[in-house]
Copies of this chain bind each other. A is one copy, B any other.
Amino acid sequence: MKDEITAIATATVSNVACGFDIMGFAIDKPVDKVKIRFTKKPGIKIKKIKGDNGKLPLDMRKNTLGVAVQSLANYLNFKDGLEIELYKQMPLGSGLGSSAASAVAGVFALNELLGKPLQKEDLLPFALDGEKITSGGVLHADNVAPSLYGGFVVIRSTNPLDVIRIPTPKNLFCTVIHPHIEIKTSKARKILSKQIPLKKAVLQWGNVAGLIAGLMKSDFDLISRSLQDVIIEPQRSALIPGYYDIKNSALNAGALGVNISGSGPSIFALSTSDELAKKIGVLMKKVLNKICIDSDLYISTINHKGPRII
């Protein structure tokens, strides 16, 4: 048995246009890195966090990663000592599932450190326990599940939890741009109307059906037609300066679809080649440059591996 494990878990794009609160997929980068080692003194502590600009609490009970790791330790009846180091390699509050990635890397690392008592898939509830504290106790699995499982997933239900893996076509590439503005998830949720017109809901679930069928049939045209959001995007896009210019520049270049990643401000575009994904990234960045907003760019395939030991 090793004394120390270092694991990474990947960022995720959730909502995916029409699939508000039910869909997400993993991308190759950015990632979060978590190191866990045994200590002689009993109890679990977060020893240090790097890359968060001092924003994340070291208090185990207030930190997504801490709550997730503690939840798994409790389940496994682990009473010895552990110390955790978190290396944030992705931006906070970016809409890329940053807290989910930390939680997933944490439970994955602890499970490995203890000799794999659980299957990877069974780690989901513990990672979710961590994620709950970022959303006021409400269960949102659309970042944690794809980060843990890899690939594209549907959260059919959170009560009971029902996660479905959706096969995706080869040659599906993702461009993600993260504009350097901050949107609090809680604010992005607060602005949403609690009631929606039935007519728009029908359009939305038509697109949900189309997107799932398109992914499973490898029908890029259908994927493209279905990557529409008539409910959330019209409300949240107002929080992202230049949003529709960015979107249109990507669509004009040949993106299959463009939308807000999670609750934003990151924006994702899907396309059919690495070359096109890069070209789209350059164009998106250009729009943000024009309005003097710095940004990070990530070009990636759909990540099917999930978290891993490094």
Contact = CB atoms under 8 A, between A and B. Distances in A.
Contact of A22 (B22, B196, B209): B209
B194 A164 contact: no
Contact of A225 (B155, B162, B212): B162
Q: How many copies of this chain are found per oligomer?
A: 2
B212 A164 contact: no
Interface in A1-40: 18-23
Interface string A198-218: 110111111111111100110
B204 A157 contact: no
B213 A164 contact: yes
Contacts of A216: 212-213, 216-217
Interface in A207-249: 207-213, 216-217, 222, 225-226, 231
Q: How big is chain A's contact interface, by range? A: 35 or more
B18 A203 contact: no
A104 interface: no
Contacts of A217: 216
A53 interface: no
Interface of A: 18-23, 154-157, 162, 164, 166, 192-199, 201-213, 216-217, 222, 225-226, 231
